[in-house]
A = this chain, B = another copy of it.
Amino acid sequence: MGIKGIRTALKVDLDKPAQEQQGLHNRWHPDIPACGKIANNEVVKIECLDWTGGQIKNNDSADDVKNVDLTQIHYLSGPFDIETAEPGDVLLVEIQDVQPFQEQPWGFTGIFDRHNGGGFLDELYPKAAKAIWDFEGIFCSSRHIPHVRFAGLIHPGILGCAPSAEVLAEWNRREGELIAANTVAERIVAQPPNPQNSHAGSSPEDIKARVAKEGARTIPGRPEHGGNCDIKNLSRGSKVYLPVHVPGAKFSVGDLHFSQGDGEISFCGAIEMAGVITLKFTVIKNGMAKLNMKSPIFHAGPVEPQFGPGRYLTFEGFSVDETGKQHYLDATVAYRQTCLRVIEYLRRYGYSDYQIYLLLSCAPVQGHIAGNCGHSQRVHDIGCSDGYL
């Protein structure tokens, strides 16, 4: 007679080290054992740590961000076996709700140190920084960026199914080639498998060793399964269509964000939080062929904070970098220039460049590709506590 209460498929412990919790893992690998079963068409709650596994504290020092241990990230909840899912199917995941833990109603945005993580503007802003955000319902504010208050668009940063052995091998091949080809000493172009702090969930020792050796890192996102997708609009009511590569799908989720700007430019740039996500799972048999799908497809829900087009200011960047060098159709250069234009503009409100950099990362600003593949970033108006900036 109608829907029953919702089962919690995984609980996490906010006080226990992430490495000791068997329902978490921080590498992608087909052999990590499932931490639970979910029925086709079932709705469940899944608890998640923040992506660093609790390394960042609610205080006023950025030292924890500066010294963050990135070999550990991202801690994901899962993998879950979805009944009836087989390779070639599509797993439809409906995001019914995302909430911070009631007893921990805060999150953080960080700028990594250039020598430990870095970010999109790290040549100009090499130092670590941090803002703690307090949540009040759908709104958030930070004592580190006074007078700013806005409604978040809460969502998961990472969700996906495990790669098959073949898919994993392809990832390691192509990222290895990129690493091998890199000639800029201090640039980390990709993260190879790294045994240090590898967490393989409840794996027995032999699989633990294999995951440590072969397991794909959670950065970057990858087209075969989505993973680290960081789409700011993937909030309540959204649907995600995910390719299935292994029996049972082995679905994982994590990296919950209270809010994020397009581009999440400071890398630790969303408002990162621990919390609970409520998901419904439906298996679409043979879906990859039916939908002619090589990568996930996303369908945002009908609910979002609405401001109207007239409440945005638009800044434009071009393929000319800050040294005056012209590039050819380079959207990344253009995007970086746009970010700098915004920072210059927002200084007038008395914020430091680091504060603005944090804000651009986590407030729901838009970043659009404009014509001819130059780039324009539309910057969202950001409400402050006394009205609007």
Contact = CB atoms under 8 A, between A and B. Distances in A.
A16 B157 CA distance: 42
A374 to B, nearest CB: 5
A109 interface: no
A44 B321 CA distance: 36
A357 interface: no
A26 interface: no
B320 A298 contact: no
Contacts of A306: 302-304, 306, 308-310
A232 to B, nearest CB: 8
A178 B67 CA distance: 40
A56 to B, nearest CB: 13
A105 B178 contact: no
A196 interface: no
A219 interface: yes
Nearest to A302: B310
A302 B151 CA distance: 8
A182 B327 CA distance: 10
Interface in A334-389: 335, 337, 341, 344-345, 347-348, 366-378
Contacts of A94: 136-137
Given A96-B138, A308-B305, A326-B174, A372 B318 contact: no
A180 to B, nearest CB: 11
Contacts of A263: 369-373
Contact of A267 (B102, B220, B347, B372): B372
Interface string A227-239: 0111111001100
Contacts of A374: 220-221, 229-230
Contacts of A301: 138, 151, 309-310
Contact of A372 (B6, B219, B367): B219
A368 B368 contact: yes
A58 interface: yes
Contact of A373 (B151, B237, B293, B335): B335
Nearest to A340: B294
B139 A372 contact: no
A103 B5 contact: yes
B371 A260 contact: yes
Contacts of A264: 370-372
A215 interface: no
Contacts of A1: 58-59
Contact of A331 (B103, B270, B328, B332): B332
A222 interface: yes
A300 B294 contact: no
Interface string A216-227: 000111110010
A178 B329 CA distance: 11
A377 B233 CA distance: 12
Interface in A47-65: 58-59
A304 B311 CA distance: 12
A70 interface: no
Contacts of A143: 2
A95 interface: yes
A31 interface: no
A319 interface: yes
16 contacts: A2-B143, A5-B105, A228-B371, A263-B371, A264-B371, A296-B316, A297-B314, A297-B345, A299-B310, A299-B314, A304-B309, A306-B306, A307-B307, A329-B332, A331-B335, A331-B375
Top 3 closest A-B pairs, CB basis? Answer: A230-B371, A96-B137, A302-B310
